[in-house]
Homo-oligomer: A and B are copies of this chain.
């Protein structure tokens, strides 16, 4: 047997191992989707054990010694030379996943599962009662375990880097501090201008009675227009909108309806639709290889934010969409202009709750969490300091002070779930999206006219080519540089926000 024949067998075996792990992970995703959208209430206990068992099998497969042997053999320089670029990328990303999984002792994984299950429970209670002390002991334990996790995974500079890397491969605390501080200063300045602007914007158009069945019809129309393939996906309802993929030909999104607020369902639909276009755009050849996934959460978020905010809250979008929406709601939208819709969906307000924040203030909520997180994991800040630190930073960044912890430090579930390093990907998504949009406008000068005519295909084609088709072949940094011709630069988001909101608020 020649060396090549052996390597061919080895890579085939590795691909089989990976395909099995992907299949099982997608099976778990189906169970998760059902749980959020379809499952009857009493089904929760059995579903939890089914998921625990399925994830146990996935963990067993992902830490199998045989997988380690295959990776080691295929990483040898002689083997690497013989591998195709795709197979090289498979070895690279599976090594990453294998290491991240095997470096964690089983006892730590178990303790984290236990601590976060307890944490989510006590966090729910704490938020209901607005009582920090109810949650603090569990959070202390979780932070301790996450520090341990970071130590197991290893890091060069600060412990938080090890956690961040899970969601945004290659990103570092130092890089984000620099990106975010530029963005924060500019955003705070822009907010000051808006405070003193000659104009106020109103959401009143959106806050009328809107029949959810017709909202749904409109959401489907927009999704089709965006290029969402309903033969390869569907939209349902859940408490918190999300996107999930069981392969590029079965991508599910959810939304939620507020019968007195048109914005809630529509922007959830466009946001999740943006995520879904990415998942539907993954090439079939990459499916079941470990490469058929997003490059990072930040890149995924860039797709949802680009469609939701940059396109969905623009004048070209409403030029196309308003006449269609008026057919469904003639009374509510009598006399409303596209410009009026754009003003309603872009009102800026200093507010307490991240998920309700507008496009300008949103990033300040994220930067605040990032600045707290990396210090918390690094030990520069303690759990006990969080409520006062939160309130102080809210005043400094957003300019409002939470009247209680339920509307402050207790508002998000992420920390209770052990998700440290996740928040920054939201703002990275906005940064990536603005830079991609700059490039799209350069390469497709007529794009805004196309959008106003309901022609969304050229944007989708561009995103398919520059982002979607690469799956997890490239790192986020490579992807952005290759797509736009330069590394991530916060100037694009700063420029976009300034231009858009100065115009909207008559600050030109």
Residues of A within 8 A of B (CB): 19-20, 23-24, 26-28, 30-31, 34, 38-43, 45-47, 49-50, 52-54, 56-57, 229-234, 246-247, 249-250, 287-288
Copies in the complex: 2
Q: Is the CB of A50 within 8 A of B30?
A: yes
- Find out whether the CB atom of A40 lies under 8 angstroms from the CB atom of B247: no
Residues from chain B with Cβ under 8 Å of A246 in the complex? 43, 46-47, 50
Provide the residues of chain B in CB contact with A250, threshold 8 Å: 39-40, 42-43, 46-47
Give Cα A43–Cα B246 distance, bound, in whole angstroms. Answer: 8
Residues on the B chain within 8 Å of A45, using CB: 247, 249
**Complex: A26 Cα to B57 Cα, angstroms:** 14
A46 contacts across to B, CB distance below 8 A: 26, 246-247, 249-250, 287
- In the complex, chain B residues whose CB is within 8 Å of the CB of A34: 30, 34
For the complex formed, measure the closest distance between the CB of A85 and the CB atoms of chain B, giving whole angstroms. Answer: 24
- A24-B54, A31-B27, A45-B249 given; A40·B288 CB < 8 A: no
CA distance A232 to B44 in the complex (A): 10
Is there contact, CB below 8 Å, between A53 and B20? yes
Closest Cβ–Cβ distance, residue A19 to chain B (whole Å) = 8
How far is it, in angstroms, between the C-alpha of A53 and the C-alpha of B40 when the chains are bound? 27
Closest to A288 in B: B49
Contact B234 A41 (CB under 8 A): no
- Contacts A43-B246, A43-B247, A43-B249 given; does A50 touch B38 at CB 8 Å: no
**Candidate in A20, A43, A54 with the most chain B CB atoms within 10 angstroms:** A43
- Chain B residue nearest to A249 (CB atoms) is B42
| Nearest 5 A/B pairs, CB to CB | A43-B250, A46-B247, A23-B53, A42-B249, A42-B232
Q: CB-CB < 8 A to A47: which residues of B?
A: 246, 250
Residues of the B chain whose Cβ atoms lie less than 8 Å from the Cβ of A42 = 229, 231-232, 249-250
Chain B residues positioned under 8 Å from A229 (CB to CB): 42
Q: Are B40 and A23 in contact (CB under 8 A)?
A: no
**Neighbouring B residues of A57 by C-beta, 8 Å:** 24, 57
How far is it, in angstroms, between the C-alpha of A23 and the C-alpha of B45 when the chains are bound? 12
Q: Is the CB of A232 within 8 A of B40?
A: yes
> A26-B46, A40-B250, A46-B287 given. 12 additional CB < 8 A pairs?
A23-B50, A23-B52, A24-B54, A40-B232, A43-B246, A43-B247, A43-B249, A45-B247, A46-B246, A46-B249, A49-B288, A50-B246
A40 touches B287 (CB 8 A): no
Bound complex: CA of A42 vs CA of B41, how far in Å?
A: 29
Report the bound CA distance from A247 to B47 in whole Å. 9
Q: What residues of B have a CB within 8 angstroms of the CB of A40 in the complex? A: 230-234, 249-250
CB proximity of A339 to chain B, nearest CB, Å? 37
Instruction: Tell me, in angstroms, the Cα distance from A231 to B54 when the chains sit together.
Output: 24
For residue A38, which residues in chain B have a CB less than 8 angstroms away from its CB? 38, 234
Could you say which residues of chain B place their CB within 8 Å of the CB of A24? 50, 53-54, 57
* CB-defined contacts of A288 to chain B, threshold 8 Å: 49
Which chain B positions have C-beta within 8 A of A232? 40, 42-43
Find out whether the CB atom of A26 lies under 8 angstroms from the CB atom of B41. Answer: no
CB distance from A388 to the nearest CB of B (A): 43
Residues of B within 8 A of A54 (CB): 23-24, 27
Q: How far is the CB of A235 from chain B (nearest CB, A)?
A: 11
Shortest A248–chain B CB gap in Å is 8
A396 to B233, CA, bound (A): 50
**Smallest distance from the beta carbon of A232 to chain B beta carbons, Å?**
4
**Nearest CB of B to A402, in Å:** 37
Which residues on the B side are within 8 Å of A28 (C-beta)?
Answer: 27
Cβ of A247: which chain B residues have Cβ within 8 Å of it? 43, 45-46
Say whether A50 contacts B26, CB under 8 Å: yes
- A364 CB → nearest B CB, Å: 39
Distance in angstroms from A87 CB to nearest chain B CB is: 20
- Residues from chain B with a CB closer than 8 A to the CB of A234 are 38, 40
Contact partners of A41 in chain B: CB under 8 A: 231
| A27 CB contacts on chain B under 8 angstroms | 27-28, 31, 50, 53-54
15 A-B pairs whose Cβ atoms sit less than 8 Å apart in the complex: A19-B49, A19-B53, A23-B50, A23-B53, A24-B53, A27-B50, A27-B54, A30-B31, A40-B234, A40-B250, A42-B229, A45-B247, A45-B249, A46-B246, A46-B247
